[in-house]
Structure 1
Amino acid sequence: MSINVYIPTPFRHLVGNRASVKAKGTNVSEILGDLDQQFPGFRDQLFDPEGNLAHHINVYVNQVEIEHLQGSATLVKNGDEVAVIPALAGGATMLTPEMVDRYSRHLIMPQVGSVGQRKIIEASVLIIGAGGLGSPVALYLALAGVGKIGIIDFDVVDRSNLQRQILHADADIGKRKVVSAKEKLLAHNPNIEVVTHEVPITSDNAFEILGQYDMVVNGADNFATRYLVNDAAYLLKKPLIDGSILMFDGQATVYLPGQGCYRCLYPAPPPPGMVPSCAEAGVLGAMCATIGS
């Protein structure tokens, strides 16, 4: 049977930079053995010279550490997930007492727990735009503990932004949005990394920028950027979450690799001038929070 195996960031270079892979086996030992068959060198990362699972490696089946089950003989079945988690993945995945306190409301939920929180900490997300949609997205991802948040925007904060763009304040008027956003996110959670891309996204840089992240959230306010980001995410096989708002309406759509894209729904953009922008038609500020969260 084929089992989904979560791969943490430090080991992803061994599996083609994928966050998860499929492995065959009826128990954990067979699953790990199949991983080594598929990806030579993977075993060297998990086992000590005597062939025992290294002390700094934790293996989980459905969020339960195998030490609390049957060890490497723990049986697996279709639908199960095996997670291989190094205790110090990237130097930051060990949950410190401060992190346990900060993320306690996640940790007590069985659907998240320590394994899920470590996955969040290992994750990287690129946000297109630090405006009405990008603001709540970035803020909640930072609060959740997403380890690396990228923000691409080359605009400056304007007073008219403050009605809905919750990352920015009156004192930020005239400041670069990426700078203002980074300051606020790190003030809320100093444990994360915030990477700023103060450039317009173009066909020349889209692949290089999107390729650095696990997932893309598109909060762009124009069709040219929306289609460009969609095309790059589709070709890079990156999950894309696309949001849009206008007046009292909004929509959020998730596009998974191999399961359709924005162009599948809308093959071509509308003629210029047919759909007004937020600057022309307005937008209810709370809609940004509703769609962005």
Structure 2
Amino acid sequence: MNRTLIEREEAYRALAALWDGGRFPHALLIEGAPGSGKRTLAHEAAAMLLCRSSGGSQEIPCGVCPSCRKMEKRLHPDLTVVGPEPKKQTIGVDAVRAVRENAWIAPHEADRRVFLIPEAQNLTAAAQNALLKLIEEPPEAAYFLFTVPSPSALLETVCSRATHLPLREMASPRRLAVLRQLRPGEDPALLERLAEGFPTVGQALASLEDPAAQRLEADAAALLDYTLHCERYALMKVLAGYERDREGLSRLLASFRARSAAALAKGELSALQCGVIVDIIEEAQFRVSQNVGVPLLSAVAAARLVQSASR
């Protein structure tokens, strides 16, 4: 198993079960929050499909055959990664047409061809519709791997034609254990703060080199503190600071949610308080996605959070 998948043993076992059972799907949809390890797991799935080991008692992917070595370097000729064109944020119909044409070409070296579409939510609606026939009746040797933050990011018609593999959120103690394993020389207090402040290991690691993420982590900690001390206007001020950064606000709310769960585990919040706070956060996240004005959102959320702390 890829060592970076240690923190995702459950998901890897599900992947291995599909392989061992001889029922690996032609279309696999890997779901998870940013930094949850979706792309790493997708590459592991691709390595399984392209490994040239005969199997038996040997683990698949074996990691030593020529195919696995090429996969490790991201140089395998039978792996195609599909992404947006330069200077574009979406994946259009032309890219999907190229996939359709190449899917019917025989593999170069392996027994299969794998098409990986990371962040598949970037597919336009037209591109997704163009994919339908291909993933519904794929060539025998063609396999399609998608990663998305949520299945709702794709058309239902696409989702219904794929097997889903969700990456569930880890509890903060587990995130901390993984961070300690991946960064053994890092300040233990810093790793503890990151484990509590970010919902995924990937986001926590990225924050080590990202001043904006460090500010976000500090703001999430402040939101929890202000909530516990019923400081309504301080809550509003922090939230309103993201008025021109809706993506940042969404990440802030996710980090606040992670900190609330950690506070529950440490006995700083009751189960009732935590449940109410999480409900408020999730509603605010939905409002952000609906483009509700941040000042209004901040005022409503702050009032409800202060009320929740009194329960």
TM-score past 0.5 threshold: no
Highest relative contact order (Cα 8 Å, sep 6+), 1 or 2? Answer: 2
Q: Larger strand proportion, structure 1 or 2?
A: 1
> TM-score w.r.t. structure 1 length?
0.31
Q: Larger helix proportion, structure 1 or 2?
A: 2
